Structure 1
Amino acid sequence: MVIRYNRKTGDRIVREYPGQNGYANAVSDPDFRKDMGKHLGDWELAVIGSDSFDSIRTTHSRYFTGRDVTPIHA
């Protein structure tokens, strides 16, 4: 899963990569690779692997405090 998280507003954009190769697919995503290592202002970019979305919501709860502003096509 790739999460773009706005530290100031709590807004987030989430893109899921299901399956056994999900983490590898996430770090290979062209949008992630384009922004990796860049200063994104208030936005933080995180790649998180887990067995379920619910696990990530629990272990990384701060990423889920604001609004989900994920575009429909993401």
Structure 2
Amino acid sequence: MQIGVKYCGGCNPRYDRVALVERIQREQPEDTFERAIPGVCYDQLLVVCGCSAQCADLTGLTGREIRSLWQDHP
């Protein structure tokens, strides 16, 4: 499966978005992960956000399935 990854703006320094994606990659070695590129339709678009604002700009990004992951800290 080809997975495009889109990260939020990174305003929450307590949440390591990259580490989360690296862990998912280790758990799914049969899949291909890359930073999402506009105009490419991915099998799955993974949107990784550090808070409930979920500010990641998805303009031009597409996926057959879109999954959003976010971590909220009080």
TM-score by length of 2: 0.31
The structure whose residues are more often strand, as a share, is 2
Higher relative contact order (CA 8 A, sep 6+): 1
The structure whose residues are more often helix, as a share, is 1
